[in-house]
């Protein structure tokens, strides 16, 4: 009976060690993947959300000014005729 407990203890210890190794490998793989993704994203010419929103607001303002100037031009041309 003592031998059986020793075998079970050894198997339990092996499983615990294997789980520790697997967890370490998982953590290392996650770190490597995150590093790879960070480098890949840094190589792309991406903009932040704040930059995107600022440019979108500028485009909207330019569009509104263009529409106002177009209406003003139409009114001036109608007056001229």
Task: Give 55's contacts (C-beta < 8 A, 6+ positions apart).
Answer: 47
Q: pLDDT at residue 1 above 60?
A: no
Confidence grade of residue 41 (pLDDT, cut at 50, 70, 90): confident
Q: CA 47, CA 58: separation in Å to the nearest integer?
A: 15
> 3-state secondary structure string, the chain?
CHHHHHHHHHHHHHHHHHHHHHHHHHHHHHHHHHHHHHHHHHHCCCCCHHHHHHHHHHHHHHHHHHHHHHHHHHHHHHHHC
Q: pLDDT at residue 28 above 90?
A: yes
Looking at residue 45, its pLDDT comes to 84
pTM over 0.75: no
Looking at residue 2, its pLDDT comes to 63
Express each pLDDT in 18-27 by its tens digit.
999 999 999 9
Q: Where are the domains of the chain?
A: 1-46, 47-81
């Amino acid at each position: 009976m003592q031998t059986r407990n020793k075998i079970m203890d050894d198997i339990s210890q092996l499983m615990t060690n294997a789980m520790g190794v697997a967890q370490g490998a998982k953590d290392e793989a996650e770190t490597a993947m995150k590093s790879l993704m960070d480098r890949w994203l840094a190589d792309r010419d991406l903009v932040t959300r704040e930059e995107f929103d600022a440019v979108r607001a500028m485009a909207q303002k330019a569009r509104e000014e263009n529409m106002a100037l177009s209406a003003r031009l139409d009114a001036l041309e109608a007056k001229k005729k």
